[in-house]
Every structure is written in structure tokens, then in C-alpha cells.
Amino acid sequence: GQQVMQIPQYQHVQEGEDFTTYCNSSTTLSNIQWYKQRPGGHPVFLIQLVKSGEVKKQKRLTFQFGEAKKNSSLHITATQTTDVGTYFCAVPRTSGSRLTFGEGTQLTVNP
């Protein structure tokens, strides 16, 4: 099945600094999804990217899908303590089934 590599595994930032996590695939992806998991919680769906070169924004979060549809990134501007958690990318089969997750990037924010 499709696999994605996610980096970095950990990121520690000071509050107000920016944060970026990256997902890379060796194959072309039909789409990519992003999830956030707070400590002790469950993954929560953030967004799905489908189109080549797509950029979507949710407040301080910017999501990008590469032109070749083989990589994606999530960028957080001016992090806040509420951003703490693990961010996962995930790729489904074309039909939407069998969602495979990257290993996640664990973000800690020092106030």
C-alpha cells in the first residue's frame, strides 16, 4: 500500500515561533489528509488536499500539496500553547478506504 514519510518526528518551539511538518511519498498520491491529536486524545481531521499545488488555510495553519502530488506540508504561523499535539498526515487508497498514517510530528510549545 501507499506509504508516507513524515519529518521531523519531534519539534520543540517557543510560543510565537513558526512550525512546519512535511510528508513525502515515493508515489503519486490521489489526495492527502491531515489530522491533529492532542495529548491523551484521539486524532481529529483537519483537512484534505486533492489538487496539484493546492494551498489551503485555516486561520494560522497553511496546508500545501506539492505540484507532483508526492509531498505535502503543514505550516503553523506564530504557534500558541493550544497548538501542542501530534500532527499526522494520512493517505487513502483512491477509493478512500485503507487510510495509512505517517508517523506523526510531535509539537511542544514552550510558553
Partner 1 sequence: NAGVTQTPKFQVLKTGQSMTLQCAQDMNHEYMSWYRQDPGMGLRLIHYSVGAGITDQGEVPNGYNVSRSTTEDFPLRLLSAAPSQTSVYFCASSLGTGPGGYTFGSGTRLTVV
Contact residues: partner 1, CB under 8 A: 1, 33, 35, 41-48, 50, 88, 90, 95-104
Q: Which amino acid is at 13?
A: V
User: What stretch of H or E contains 87?
Assistant: strand 85-91
Least distance in Å: CB of 40 to partner 1? 9
Residue 102, Cβ neighbours under 10 Å: how many? 24
Task: Name the residue nearer to partner 1 (CB basis): 9 or 81.
Answer: 9
Task: Name the residue nearer to partner 1 (CB basis): 78 or 98.
Answer: 98
Task: Name the residue nearer to partner 1 (CB basis): 68 or 99.
Answer: 99
Beta carbons of 56 and 49 less than 8 angstroms apart: yes
